[in-house]
Structure 1
Amino acid sequence: MSDDLKVEYSGAVATLTLDRPDSRNAIRLEMYRELPGLLRGIDDDPRVKVLVVRGAGTKAFAAGADISEFREVRADAESARSYNEQVAAAEQALEGMAKPTAAMVHGYCVGGGCGLALACDLRFCDTAAQFAITPSKLGLVYSLESTRRLVDLVGPAQAKWILFSGERVDAQHALRTGLADAVTEPGDLAEEVYGFAELVSGRAQYSVRAAKDIVRRIVAGQRRDDAETTELRNASFDTEDYAEGVRAFLEKRAPEFTWS
């Protein structure tokens, strides 16, 4: 694994850190290449129930793609096509994880960094957070999938404002428009994120992952139950966690779920 990506484990929570603090965690092409396999390993790890994605240090989640590489890795249409495919694969791998994901955003969350944050299920940020998507400042075009994630969160008008202007959006603006899900003081961000991750880790994981799958289907346009969603719901009654949830409720105690 690249020295620029770091994975740590604490109980049922994994943390993936973009670890280039001297460059505000700007994302190199090699990092994008490694992310799909790395995320697949986390998703397959039975120890892990929630993934937190963050940047190293306190200045940035990620200040975007590493533009210093662009003359080499995006020199022309052919190399740019390959580069864009790697970025898309990384974002798809993060968005497609079965397990819940949360972006912990402190400081700058710009361009490619914002792309990764948008691919997470939730975004927690501190009051110093600054979001921006900047293709209009570089003469580039944002992908349809990345734009769709933005529109799903903030709606078409706000998405146009962000993309047309390329300007930064502060934490309170992000919270009002749905780009962020919670805002805290900088010193409280880790407690907020990991407190939520621990809470979700203690819930019935079959329920959590089924809910994520069903929400994804709704966002993609599904409006009626089909055979797969019906089976998801019906199968929950055969899990030990369902039996434990009922027992715990009747015995007036906290449930101890075991499905992983």
Structure 2
Amino acid sequence: MENEPLNLRIDAGVATLTIDTPARRNALTYAMWLEVAALFQVLEADPTVRVVVLRGAGGDFSAGADISEFDTLRGAPDSARTYEAANSAAFAAVRLARIPVIAAIRGICFGGGFGLAAAADLRIATLDATFSVPAARLGLAYPLDAMVDIVGSLGEQMAKYLTFTAARLDAASAKSAGFLLEVIETEHFDARVDEIARTIAANAPLSIKASKASMRATATGDKRDIAFAQQIGDATFASADYAEGRTAFKERRQPVFSGR
């Protein structure tokens, strides 16, 4: 999907979803929030996709929601709730994806962009990345589910600091808080993101899905999440990939997993 506000490319099991409105620092319109959720449904249904890389075009990840729409699409309580529902659907699509999601962050990562990154499984940034949760300067509240992601990824105290002050956080501080897995020099950034994504894509998909489901069940304690994690974990025992993993180990070669 080229020349679209959201570009999707799939290569060797790695899906790259790019927010592509660099003139607006990759701000997302209402339609784009809805499209994020729709595209993740497409990716979930594609058995060839094993990992998603979420990134922004140009020098920034995302400035968040496109504020130019707020007067018309978020100016009254009812429309604000409708807009928030679109936000939440996008965050949920990232958070609940059964395949791993990597947020590859350059430049600014603000507001709703921060929310998307917080919902991802892994976050990697360049040295110049900057983070902010500026709702307090707009008089808005973040969706509850987004705040759960923010607290979970930042820790409670840092989440309070960012949301109460609307301050900006540099990449080194974000890594110290646990929000970032790695901070990479710009010239090595794309190669490192690609290395991690392709390593994940080469591993057993069912095993990774089971691990992600189990970690979610551990975090939520929800009986449905626990049951699903048990189900998908049990499915690995009879899988072709488990047989392939054992055979490859005995033959001292790299396994080739089919996802079955």
Quickly name the TM-score band, shorter chain normalised. over 0.9
Distance 1:232 1:209 in 2: 8
TM-score, structure 1 normalization = 0.95
The letter of the residue matching 2:178 is G
1:19 and 2:20 are equivalent in the alignment: yes
Distance 1:139 1:226 in 2: 37
Q: Please list every run of at least 4 consecutive aligned residues from structure 1 whose deviation after the TM superposition is greater than 2 angstroms.
A: 225-235
- Tell me the SS of whatever aligns to 1:75: coil
Distance 1:226 1:16 in 2: 29
CA displacement, residues 10-48 of structure 1 (integer Å, 9 cap, x when unaligned): 211111111101110011111012122111001111221
Equivalent runs, 1:123-142 vs 2, <5 Å: 123-142=123-142
Correspondence for 1:214: 214
Equivalent runs, 1:5-154 vs 2, <5 Å: 5-58=6-59, 60-154=60-154
Deviation of 1:3 (Å): 2.1
Whether the aligned pair in 1 keeps the contact of 2:217 and 2:226 (CA below 8 Å) is no
Distance 1:86 1:106 in 2: 24
Distance 2:128 2:136 in 1: 24
Residue 141 and residue 209 in structure 1: after superposition, are their counterparts in 2 closer, same or farther (change >3 A)? Answer: same
The letter of the residue matching 1:21 is P
- Tell me the SS of whatever aligns to 1:88: helix
**1-10 vs 134-143, which deviates more?**
1-10
Residue 226 and residue 217 in structure 1: after superposition, are their counterparts in 2 closer, same or farther (change >3 A)? Answer: closer
CA displacement, residues 209-244 of structure 1 (integer Å, 9 cap, x when unaligned): 110111111111369x95544433332121111111
Residue 236 and residue 38 in structure 1: after superposition, are their counterparts in 2 closer, same or farther (change >3 A)? Answer: same
Distance 2:47 2:108 in 1: 32
Distance 1:229 1:90 in 2: 23
Residue 228 and residue 61 in structure 1: after superposition, are their counterparts in 2 closer, same or farther (change >3 A)? Answer: closer
The letter of the residue matching 1:69 is E
Residue 12 and residue 118 in structure 1: after superposition, are their counterparts in 2 closer, same or farther (change >3 A)? Answer: same
Deviation of 1:194 (Å): 1.0
- Tell me the SS of whatever aligns to 1:61: coil
Correspondence for 1:185: 185
What is the aligned length?
Answer: 258
Task: Give ranges in structure 1 of 5+ residues lacking alignment.
Answer: none
1:160 and 2:160 are equivalent in the alignment: yes
Distance 1:47 1:233 in 2: 20
Task: Give ranges in structure 2 of 5+ residues lacking alignment.
Answer: none
Distance 2:228 2:31 in 1: 37
- Tell me the SS of whatever aligns to 2:109: strand
What's the Cα RMSD here?
A: 1.7
- Tell me the SS of whatever aligns to 2:8: strand
TM-score, structure 2 normalization = 0.95
Deviation of 1:87 (Å): 0.8
Deviation of 1:247 (Å): 1.1
1:244 and 2:234 are equivalent in the alignment: no
